[in-house]
Structure 1
Amino acid sequence: MSTLSKTSPNSINKVSVGTLLVTLGIIFGDIGTSPLYVMKAIMGKEVIQEAIVLGAISCVFWTLTLQTTFKYVFLTLKADNKGEGGIFSLYTLVKRLHKRWLIVPAIIGGSALLADGIITPPISISSALEGIKIYQPDLQTIPLVLGILFGLFFIQQFGTKFIGKFFGPMMLIWFVMLGILGVSQMMGSFYVLKALNPYYAFHLLSIHSDGYYVLGFVFLCTTGAEALYSDLGHCGIKNIRISWAFVKIMLVLNYFGQGAYLIEHSGKTLSFLSANPDNPGNPFYLIMPEWFLPIGITIATIAAVIASQALISGSFTLINEAMRLNFWPKVRVKFPTDIKGQLYIPSINWLLFFGCCFVVLHFKESGNMEAAYGLAIVMCMIMTTILLGYYMVLKRYNPIFIVLILLVYLSIEISFFIANIQKFSHGGYVSVGIAGILALTMTICFLGKRIRKNYTEFTSIDKYKTVLSEISKDPTIPKYATNLIYLTNAQNSEEVEEKIMYSILQKRPKRADNYWLLHVNVTDEPYQMEYRVKELLHDNLIRIDFYLGFRIAPKINLMFRKVVKDMMESGEVDLSSRYASLNRNNILGDFKFVLIEKLVSYDNDLPVNERIILDLYDLIKKISLSEEKAFGLDSSSVKIEYYPMIIRPTPDIPLIRRK
């Protein structure tokens, strides 16, 4: 087996000041901007009570400790696939257990994470910009939010190589600001530190009538943990763990600072503290000195944009993985910069943009968005826990430890789910609806592909070696191409689809000097790029198997050229033109790709469920990228043919010939 090019996971394994700064800018944007809206969501319009505040910040602290620190930073980050993380990477690790139902948590989790990418930018940017209302209470922030969102999504096509250099330093400023603001409020009010005692969290949940409802908003403090795992490959486990120690301290200081401020104003409401009865104040801005507010609002807005950028980039990576795993229809993927792993998917970019605009226009204010936020991502966390359990089984962890982890975290996350489900009618239906549409699309793509594959007929190549050799030398048949190339789905190198032989022999006899069969294997290693060559018929039929990682774009045209070049240099094949005049001048022969589109014949007797899935799958294919573009083929050298796929023939028609 040969290597197409030297590849390695896109991760930063060494720890330095520079890599830690990069990690701050890429990894912690989502979870790092949560102080903008968590305490505001918890308090709402209710009268501030010390018991609720202490219980809330105690819940926040222990959620960050148990959920983010232990489950994700300590445990889940170990479940890396050659340095890459995320729920699809985790799925590729555990699917070797051959439990087919594991596809369910993978699809649900991936869909929920994408839905989070639509909700997070609006709530983060809206929460930041609403600080301007301190100066202009009647200001409509919706146009500003939409304008920033448009600018953010518009620049994706150019890549983020330049502005990315500022992400780390800006997030460092953001986190330092969080810590300083928190400490300034805690000075003289250190009694708030007693919330470190989990008793106050249990007291809130068990005694207070609104305790469980509050838990739904507490969960917002850890929503970025799943994105943290997905971005593992960008920075490496060591950088994430070291940076998280700093990030968590700054977050906790700010939450406790907001708590100290609120306790000092017990008996009042946030609306009263903001002097605006129609607009509840935000504790995040209320703890700022008046002279610092313009600076704080500016820094918060920049941090929210950076957090949104990280989720957008993560969505591109997630969709690219989904395409390679047959969970998503083929769409155009671009590489705007030379930074390894940076993608731009136009269709997803604008789909996310319009989704974000819908969220902004539907909810109008961040306070209304809080109800929609959290429900989808907690579903993703539950799915990750299930897959993580199987990963630990695969790695032969102590069974007692596995059971304990599953019991603890499924209990925690199901509790969060129950708390968040109470917000369904208040806006949670939006995130669930978005996740549901995405999951349905993934399910149709996966099942449609599998049904077609199950009904594909294969035949032995040995049966056709003689006729292929003879047709290549038959001058009575016009030459179709010097090199004729087909893409095959046959896993067995000694087999080929019936449709390919039908195309060569019956569709229109296609004489060629060399026949090539190309097969693409999607491997569980994210950045593998290797190939194997097998000569099936001397100087006539060659098969090439590509082994490409699930994060590698299948640029078959370029890869095939690389293989051909290697074979010519090693003397394995002579691809000079067989036309005498061209051969004398050392001109290479031409190459022609033939792609065969399978059409489900109407002459089929299919089960209703399979018919519906195939019809929906065909509809999705019509609006997705064509096969030749998806495989990076030059359209000028590609011929598209259509082959009727007879899946299950109907009974013979009782047609009688009349005399």
Structure 2
Amino acid sequence: MGVVFGDIGTSPLYALRDTFAGRHPLPLDSLHIHGIVSLMFWSMLIMVTLKYMIVLMRADNRGEGGSLALLALINREATEKRWGHGVILLGVFATALFYGDSMITPAVSVMGAIEGVAVYRPELHYAVMPLVVAILIGLFLFQARGTERVAAFFGPIMLCYFATIAVLGLVSVIGNPRVIVALSPHHAVAMFMADPWRGFLAMGAAVLAVTGAEALYADMGHFGRIPIRMSWLTLVLPALVLNYLGQAALLLRNPAALESPFYLLAPHWFQWPLLILASLAAIIASQAVISGAFSVTQQAIQLGFIPRLAIRHTSKAAGQIYIPSVNQALMIAVIILVLVFQRSTNLTATYGVAVTGAMLIDNLLLAVVLFRLWHWNPVPAAALLALFFAVDALYLGANLTKVPDGGWVPLLMGGVIFVLLTTWSRGRQLLRKHMAATGIPLEVFTKSAHSSATRVPGTAVFMASATAGVPSALLHNMKHNKVLHERVVLMTVQIEDTPVVDPASRAVVRDFGNGFYRMTLRFGFLEGTDVPAALREVALGGQPFDMMRTSFFLSRQTLLPSDKPAMAQWRERLFAWMLRNSASAMEFFRLPTNRVVELGSQIRM
């Protein structure tokens, strides 16, 4: 309830209000009220229920969902060829847009909830901003402790929240039962026929009712598709529909309630409890998005789109991680957004562009899955995709009209992050290509090194990014120390296109004789790369690894400017900066600090 539906569940705080009080307000009459509620209801049915719940959740990468997981699935299953550069860029750009969304969601959710203070007590309006900032700072500081301790409370709080908004909506609907006719699709059609331009512009605010839909797919790996579908169909969707109908009925009775139709649904005696409950729901929604940013970052690191970052596992449960640098960056961005935009109505102008952009990209990736992986009949597949593309394109077009009013914020954030991700991926490819071109075949090296170096007791593990050639750390060690250990292991860590790798196939070892081995350790893109733990399950020549007799040798490259760079000079400098600031391989691979030797080298690409 909390992790998956926190974002979409807090949309009633501002979604309906902003269609009539936002940047492009609609007239507050029965035609437009019925039309917008109809539009929101059918958008939830088409975009959330049909697209994500029924279709996209079938496209899982061994249980995992999300844009990067879908991209990895396409790369793994499309055996006739590796999918082109364009498909990869689409998946990366969807990920970049997700980061933009993860910055806006905590700001708009918490601000929308706390603004209830000013609704109930206008004289306390001055306290809203300090409260919002204080709550957000506390929320981000709490991340270091992990979410496991409070996870048990997420479900009950959100269950109480959804039940509450459903009851409040139902009571309001009973006072004006004719509002139920708004569920008919002809009301949305009638609104667009009578007022097409303003109806189109209002879609930029109406899309707020489905923000968080992409999170349902991304969180599939944590809970499975069946629990998510059941929760949505039996509780979340009915609660949201009842609340939107209740807000519509309230506005038809009392147009002055537009100040905050969500909070003014509550009777006087329940106003402050509703404020507390809605604030807790907003905090949980923000917590879920932040945790999602950590998970997506871990996937991006494992798939080679982000430099190594320090990752802390806050519990033994899978997915319970904390990434300090991401947490700090998100906190700074969210606080800046709050201070600059001041009100949730202003901030919702930035909301929607990133969400609808990511949804449209999911359609493109889904098209590849339907036609190339599942081999669906072209007629129903094309009809289904045409429906999804039509709806998402209309919503994206409406949200693009908000670009001058703040919609540029997530686009700018997404663009910057996209440049960072693609620069790192391209730089790594060039760096590996350069190192492979200058490498020495291991077969040649073992024959000459065995007879020309002194052998010393113990095991030396040389970490290598490539599965061929001799790593530079081994060459430097031979050049300067002129010794070799009894067992020399050239180790490469590979991240597979699957979330989890079978432990039985974790390690692949090849014996080159004379105490030389090449080992490949395979991890899934959602697994932690704990090298010492993996080595405890491996034996070389019948002997297990003894960490107290094993030394790990790492290479650290320093990139020097090239006269003829393989990519634009500014991107090469950006890659060099990212390389310098990436986390140490020692920390990333969880190597024992007292058993590591690091050797540096300078490279011109």
Pairwise CA distance, 1:79: 1.1
Q: Check if 1:155 corresponds to 2:142.
A: yes
The one-letter code sitting in structure 1 at the alignment partner of 2:463 is L
Structure 1 residues 191-590: aligned runs within 5 Å:
191-208=178-195, 209-245=197-233, 246-265=235-254, 268=255, 273=256, 281-392=259-370, 393-456=372-435, 457=437, 458-472=439-453, 474=454, 479=456, 482-491=458-467, 495-497=468-470, 499=472, 502-528=475-501, 529=503, 530-560=505-535, 562-563=536-537, 566-567=538-539, 572-573=542-543, 590=549
Q: Check if 1:104 corresponds to 2:89.
A: yes
Identify the residue that residue 31 of structure 1 maps to in structure 2.
8
Structure 1 distance, partners of 2:471, 2:244, is 65
The residue matched to 2:148 in structure 1 has which SS? Answer: coil
Q: 1:629 aligned to 569, 577, 587, which one?
A: 587
Structure 2 distance, partners of 1:294, 1:109, is 39
1:631–1:611 distance in 2 versus 1, CA, 3 Å = farther
8 Å CA contact 1:38, 1:221 repeated in 2: yes
Structure 1 distance, partners of 2:66, 2:496, is 16
Identify the residue that residue 77 of structure 1 maps to in structure 2.
57
1:412–1:589 distance in 2 versus 1, CA, 3 Å = closer
Identify the residue that residue 572 of structure 2 maps to in structure 1.
614
Structure 1 distance, partners of 2:108, 2:213, is 17
- Higher CA-based Rg: 1
1:633–1:367 distance in 2 versus 1, CA, 3 Å = same
Aligned length: 588
The one-letter code sitting in structure 2 at the alignment partner of 1:595 is L
Structure 1 distance, partners of 2:513, 2:179, is 81
Query: TM-score, normalised to structure 1's length?
Result: 0.85
Pairwise CA distance, 1:575: 7.1
8 Å CA contact 1:533, 1:542 repeated in 2: no
8 Å CA contact 2:466, 2:492 repeated in 1: yes
1:293–1:512 distance in 2 versus 1, CA, 3 Å = same
8 Å CA contact 1:484, 1:515 repeated in 2: yes
The one-letter code sitting in structure 1 at the alignment partner of 2:539 is M
Q: Higher mean Cα deviation, 198-207 or 85-94?
A: 198-207
8 Å CA contact 1:107, 1:439 repeated in 2: yes
Identify the residue that residue 14 of structure 1 maps to in structure 2.
none
Structure 1 distance, partners of 2:223, 2:461, is 40
8 Å CA contact 1:486, 1:593 repeated in 2: yes
1:574–1:103 distance in 2 versus 1, CA, 3 Å = closer
Pairwise CA distance, 1:608: 6.6
The residue matched to 2:322 in structure 1 has which SS? Answer: coil
Q: Higher mean Cα deviation, 188-197 or 319-328?
A: 188-197
1:453–1:207 distance in 2 versus 1, CA, 3 Å = farther
8 Å CA contact 2:314, 2:322 repeated in 1: yes
Structure 2 distance, partners of 1:572, 1:389, is 50
Larger proportion of helix: 2
Q: Higher mean Cα deviation, 609-618 or 68-77?
A: 609-618
Q: Give CA deviations for 1:254-303 in whole Å, capped at 9, x if unaligned.
A: 101111111223xx4xxxx25xxxxx611111221111111111111111
Q: Higher mean Cα deviation, 417-426 or 612-621?
A: 612-621
Q: 2:120 aligned to 135, 151, 154, which one?
A: 135
8 Å CA contact 1:327, 1:446 repeated in 2: yes
The residue matched to 1:496 in structure 2 has which SS? Answer: coil
Identify the residue that residue 600 of structure 1 maps to in structure 2.
559
8 Å CA contact 2:65, 2:220 repeated in 1: yes
Structure 1 distance, partners of 2:245, 2:598, is 64
Structure 2 distance, partners of 1:33, 1:600, is 47
Identify the residue that residue 19 of structure 1 maps to in structure 2.
none
Q: 1:122 aligned to 96, 107, 113, which one?
A: 107
Structure 1 distance, partners of 2:101, 2:378, is 33
Structure 1 distance, partners of 2:545, 2:142, is 44
The one-letter code sitting in structure 1 at the alignment partner of 2:14 is Y
Q: Give CA deviations for 1:463-501 in whole Å, capped at 9, x if unaligned.
A: 1221232135x47xxx5x63222112333xxx3146355
8 Å CA contact 1:531, 1:544 repeated in 2: no
The residue matched to 2:486 in structure 1 has which SS? Answer: strand
The residue matched to 1:521 in structure 2 has which SS? Answer: strand
Structure 2 gaps of 5+ residues are none
Q: Give CA deviations for 1:146-167 in whole Å, capped at 9, x if unaligned.
A: 1111111111111122221111
The one-letter code sitting in structure 1 at the alignment partner of 2:42 is W
Identify the residue that residue 579 of structure 1 maps to in structure 2.
none
8 Å CA contact 2:512, 2:518 repeated in 1: no
Pairwise CA distance, 1:636: 2.7
The residue matched to 1:641 in structure 2 has which SS? Answer: strand
The one-letter code sitting in structure 2 at the alignment partner of 1:136 is R
Pairwise CA distance, 1:460: 2.3
Q: Give CA deviations for 1:2-57 in whole Å, capped at 9, x if unaligned.
A: xxxxxxxxxxxxxxxxxxxxxx1221111111111001111107551111111100
The residue matched to 1:455 in structure 2 has which SS? Answer: helix
8 Å CA contact 1:600, 1:645 repeated in 2: yes
The one-letter code sitting in structure 1 at the alignment partner of 2:94 is G
The residue matched to 2:149 in structure 1 has which SS? Answer: coil
8 Å CA contact 1:489, 1:497 repeated in 2: no
The one-letter code sitting in structure 1 at the alignment partner of 2:317 is I
Q: Give CA deviations for 1:69-112 in whole Å, capped at 9, x if unaligned.
A: 00001111111111111111111001233123211111111111
Structure 1 residues 43-62: aligned runs within 5 Å:
43-44=20-21, 47-62=27-42
Pairwise CA distance, 1:217: 0.5
1:188–1:531 distance in 2 versus 1, CA, 3 Å = closer
Give the superposed CA RMSD: 2.0
The residue matched to 1:27 in structure 2 has which SS? Answer: helix
Structure 1 gaps of 5+ residues are 1-23, 275-279, 577-587, 648-659
